[in-house]
Amino acid sequence: MNLLRSSVFALALLVITPPYSLLALATAPLPRIWRYRIISGWSHIVIWLSRVVLGIRYRVEGLESLPRKPVVFLSKHQSAWETLAFQVFLPPQVLVLKRELLWIPFFGWGLALMSPIAINRSRGTRALKRMANIGRRRLAQGFSIVVYPEGTRVAPGQRRAYQQGGAWLAVKAGAPVIPIAHNAGLLWPKNAFIKRPGTITVQLGAPMESLGTTPAALNAEVEAWIESRMEALCPK
């Protein structure tokens, strides 16, 4: 049954993505927030399909703690699900991502029009400076910023070192940080064709102030909060 569900889901994505990409390209002359509203509609459709076809539901804890101003979200990264679902239940946001993702046909084209912070990781300090400069502008434009500090998708029950780039951006911009823990990888595994039905739990922490701290200290605080939640979300 899961194979059938996943096949129908993949077929639906194959049908809707190319024409929606053309719609995304047509939004190029529009203001950033209008582009975001229209292009993120694709994510709304995909998350709806994942519920109806795959049987994947979700619950979000901690939304009441979100401040009114833009923030930096530092999140666990397990699957493609959260990159889409965050656009459904979080405020307007931009992603910090590797620039190569913008080269993917259809998907990358729409992603590029959502004003991401695309960086060349090989440039080290220059990449951090670029991220901070663009990040300040996006925050001023009313967008929150989503960063995955582990740098790549990590399977449930595993972990990687948290990179300081997201915390560094928050400190430089003076923006509060919201840590996010979730268990999406249990139902939508990395690079897996077959997805499983069930309920994903997403937990948002209280705002962590970036003023008066260092990127290393803030990054350590975020890592400790997220990983302490992961023990219950993804029990071994």
Residue 185 has a pLDDT of: 96
- The number of beta carbons lying within 10 Å of the beta carbon of residue 25 is 14
86, with CB counted inside 10 A (0-12, 13-18, 19+), is buried
C-alpha 145/C-alpha 71 separation (Å) is: 6
Residue 110 has a pLDDT of: 75
- pLDDT-derived band at 122, boundaries 50, 70, 90: low
Q: Are 170 and 218 in contact (CB under 8 A)?
A: yes
> To the nearest whole percent, how much of the chain has pLDDT over 90?
71
Confidence check: pLDDT of 204 > 70: yes
Confidence check: pLDDT of 127 > 80: no
* Tens of pLDDT, residues 206-225: 999 999 899 999 999 999 99
* Tens of pLDDT, residues 145-201: 999 999 889 999 898 999 988 999 999 999 999 999 999 999 999 989 999 999 999
Q: What is the pTM of this model?
A: 0.92
Residue 56 has a pLDDT of: 97
Instruction: Tell me what the mean pLDDT of segment 20-45 comes to.
Output: 92
CA angle 31, 35, 40 (to 5 degrees): 155
Residue 182 pairs in a beta bridge with 202
- pLDDT-derived band at 131, boundaries 50, 70, 90: confident
Instruction: Kindly list the strands in the beta sheet with 56-61, ordered across the sheet, starting from the edge strand earlier in the chain.
Output: 56-61, 198-204, 177-182, 72-75, 144-147, 93-98, 117-119
Q: Are 125 and 131 in contact (CB under 8 A)?
A: no
> How much is the mean pLDDT over the chain?
91
Was domain 2-233 assigned CATH 2.60.40?
no
